Amino acid sequence: MPYALLALVLVILDQVVKYLVLTYIPLGGYVPFLPHIACLTYVQNTGAAFSMFSQHTWILALISLIMSVVLAVALWKNFFTHPLGKVTLALLLAGAVGNLIDRTLRGFVVDMFQLLFMNFAVFNVADICVVAGGIAAAAYYLLLADKLEHKEVPHGTADADR
């Protein structure tokens, strides 16, 4: 299943980047990455986006686990039949699993990408997957699914008689 492989590759990328940050950047330290755009800053985040719910890491881990299972089942059961829809699910799954690994093994999520041109939360590869996948999934479902999804209509319904 190529979409599960995509999710796996993204989880591996997320974990490799986090490993490199943990290994080479001290907590709170930073290194240049893209001049005037972003640097790599090692931050430990026990919460969700913008450190919300930072006292409830275990709840966030549970939510990540549940969402990971739901997304894996949605991929397996072909919730979306079109490849574009499946890619959105794979992105969401990779993001959920990437941050779930951190929450369960470390008790916090390793964040590293800090934008220099605006005041924004520090984020990681898994966060990029969640945001890109979430926006893409919403756009796909709202704008494209009716045109691209070819789900079978049960026999005997009004749509099947047309």
Residue 29 lies in a domain: yes
Residues of the chain with pLDDT under 50: 161-162
Q: Looking at 14, 111, 146, 161, which residue is catalytic?
A: 111
Q: Report pLDDT for 14.
A: 98
Structure letter (DSSP) for residue 108: S
Residue 84 lies in a domain: yes
Q: Report pLDDT for 55.
A: 62
Known catalytic residue at 111? yes
pTM above 0.75, yes or no: yes
d(CA 97, CA 91): 10
Q: Looking at 14, 127, 146, 159, which residue is catalytic?
A: 127
Q: Report pLDDT for 59.
A: 83
d(CA 141, CA 160): 23
Known catalytic residue at 127? yes
Residue 158 lies in a domain: no
Residue 152 lies in a domain: no
- Encoded tokens for 155: 């026999």
Q: Report pLDDT for 31.
A: 96
Q: Report pLDDT for 161.
A: 47
- Encoded tokens for 111: 């964040």
Number of domains in the chain: 1
Residue 159 lies in a domain: no
Q: Report pLDDT for 119.
A: 93
Q: Report pLDDT for 162.
A: 45
Q: Report pLDDT for 98.
A: 97
- Encoded tokens for 95: 């993001």
Do the Cβ atoms of 100 and 65 come closer than 8 Å? yes
Residue 76 lies in a domain: yes
Domain residues for the domain of 22 are: 2-142
Do the Cβ atoms of 45 and 109 come closer than 8 Å? yes
Residue 154 lies in a domain: no
Phi/psi for 114 (5° steps) reads -120, 125
| Residue 25, helix vs strand vs coil | coil
